[in-house]
């Protein structure tokens, strides 16, 4: 296996159902990654050590996901100058806004690129886009992904062009 380019970390094992979407997408892109659990609050020393050594370890992009007071992405960004993508994970409170605000509202100077609540797949796609700026192989993977996505979009367009009748849309026609 080649050197992992993307490091995925999450605040708890309970974030795995969300964060494994990033791992799955990276696998589909053929990008080597690692996946770890470490909490900014419960294991601050481990987080600091991992993030501080991330560039030297060969990573190019870091993805960090957490819920509630989601400080993990910000703390990782504080300890590393690699691009950090933050994934706010939905918890049973506040509709995920707690994690979203904790991640997106970084102080000027220490950015975290924040994706939508639970949208770990977008984090993997953004990681590919970052890698593609400096690598032809990743740029080709990105172009293929975009073409495939556009193809799916066209299928939807064709479906609507076949006649988006009120019945097809599930509306009741009165008379």
**Footprint of ligand AIR (CB under 6 A):** 11-12, 14-15, 39-42, 66-70, 89, 91
Pairing of strands 84-89, 6-10: unpaired
What is residue 17's three-state secondary structure? helix
Minimum CB separation of residue 21 from ligand AIR in Å reads 15
Closest CB to ligand AIR among residues 37, 82: 37
Minimum CB separation of residue 162 from ligand AIR in Å reads 43
How many whole angstroms separate alpha carbon 76 and alpha carbon 90?
Answer: 20
Closest CB to ligand AIR among residues 69, 104: 69
How many whole angstroms separate alpha carbon 32 and alpha carbon 50?
Answer: 17
How many whole angstroms separate alpha carbon 71 and alpha carbon 99?
Answer: 8
Residue pair 31/135 in contact by the 8 Å Cβ criterion: no
Minimum CB separation of residue 65 from ligand AIR in Å reads 7
Closest CB to ligand AIR among residues 5, 123: 123
Closest CB to ligand AIR among residues 17, 137: 17
Closest CB to ligand AIR among residues 84, 130: 84
**Which tokens in the block code for residue 43?**
């294991």
Minimum CB separation of residue 132 from ligand AIR in Å reads 29
Minimum CB separation of residue 54 from ligand AIR in Å reads 19
Residue pair 47/75 in contact by the 8 Å Cβ criterion: yes
Smallest CA-to-CA distance from 60 within 141, 119, 140, 138 is with 138
């Amino acid at each position: 296996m080649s050197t992992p380019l993307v490091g995925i970390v999450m605040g708890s094992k309970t974030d795995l159902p969300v964060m494994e979407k990033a791992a799955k997408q990276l696998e589909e892109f053929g990008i080597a990654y690692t996946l770890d659990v470490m909490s900014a609050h419960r294991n601050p020393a481990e987080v600091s050590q991992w993030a501080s050594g991330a560039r030297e370890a060969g990573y190019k992009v870091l993805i960090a996901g957490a819920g509630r007071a989601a400080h993990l992405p910000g703390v990782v960004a504080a300890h590393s100058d690699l691009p950090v993508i933050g994934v706010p994970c939905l918890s049973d409170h506040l509709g995920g806004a707690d994690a979203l605000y904790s991640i997106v509202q970084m102080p000027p100077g220490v950015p975290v690129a924040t994706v939508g609540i639970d949208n770990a797949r977008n984090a993997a796609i953004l990681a590919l886009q970052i890698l593609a700026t400096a690598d032809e192989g990743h740029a080709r993977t990105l172009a293929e992904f975009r073409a495939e996505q556009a193809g799916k979009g066209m299928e939807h367009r064709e479906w609507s062009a076949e006649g988006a009748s009120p019945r097809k849309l599930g509306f009741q026609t009165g008379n």
